[in-house]
Amino acid sequence: MSKSDKKKEEMPLPENHDQKAKESNQDLKDSPEDKLKSTEEKLLRTLAEMENQRRRFEKEREEAFEFGGFNFARESLSLIDNIDRAIQSFKNDEKLKKNADLDKIIAGIEIVKKDLISIFKKNGIESINCINEKFDPNFHQAMLEIENSNKEPGTVVQEIQKGYMMKDRLLRPSLVGVAKIKKEEKASKITKDDQKNDVKEQKK
């Protein structure tokens, strides 16, 4: 055997030769059923990924639509506020009170207000009932405390500005006045508590 023949025999095989050989052997081992099963699994994974992507897109689209409507609804609340202010202004104007057509004017404005409220309700926008309700920071914003001996402390007794909900989301909190104990009642309660504590100490 010549030296050149020996060199040819001793030459190393390419690095990927073993890998290709393994894959070739694996292909030979895999039956048509195995190949079909593998293809089906890949297809199912692809379909699942496509469905997840579609759902994400739908959710993002709905949220974008609702968020846009939410902002528009919140800004539209000023229309109702201005209508209420106009009605109150007309009723308090001494010169307009003498006008025989004042009631007709106010009635016309009230019709516009009712139509607007009706449109709001159709779109899931409704006012928050707060009078005589327990103060809730999730729906109410306290603007002042009002001394009141007839209501439990923390009860809403005055509505300064209406609050609104859009379905299950807060559009605007109600601006409210909250009941608190009268000063003299509070002082009397403190005195009574002190007397009770004194009696307890004497018994000890």
In this prediction, residue 203 carries a pLDDT of 58
Residue range 128-154: mean pLDDT, rounded: 93
Return phi, psi of residue 25, to 5°: -65, -40
This prediction has a pTM of: 0.59
Rounded to whole angstroms, the Cα distance separating 131 from 166 reads: 20
- Count CB-CB contacts under 10 A for residue 163: 20
Of the candidate ranges 35-44, 46-55, 62-71, 159-168, the one whose mean pLDDT is the lowest:
62-71
Q: Which residues contact 10 (CB under 8 A, 6 or more apart)?
A: none
Q: What is the mean pLDDT of the chain?
A: 80
Cα–Cα distances (Å) from 136 to 74, 141, 143, 179, in that order, read: 20, 8, 13, 13
Residue range 14-20: mean pLDDT, rounded: 54
pLDDT band at 146 (very low <50, low <70, confident <90, very high): very high
> What is the side-by-side strand order in the sheet with 140-147?
140-147, 174-180, 156-161
Return phi, psi of residue 90, to 5°: -65, -40
pLDDT band at 98 (very low <50, low <70, confident <90, very high): confident
pLDDT band at 4 (very low <50, low <70, confident <90, very high): low
DSSP SS3 for 47? helix
Residue range 91-105: mean pLDDT, rounded: 88
In this prediction, residue 144 carries a pLDDT of 94
In this prediction, residue 108 carries a pLDDT of 93
Residue range 142-149: mean pLDDT, rounded: 92
Rounded to whole angstroms, the Cα distance separating 16 from 23 reads: 11
pLDDT band at 20 (very low <50, low <70, confident <90, very high): low
In three state form, how does the secondary structure of 16-29 look? CHHHHHHHHHHHHH
What sections of the chain are H helices per DSSP?
Answer: 3-10, 17-29, 32-92, 94-97, 102-122, 183-203
Domains of the chain plus CATH, in order, are: 26-123 (3.90.20), 127-188 (2.30.22.10)
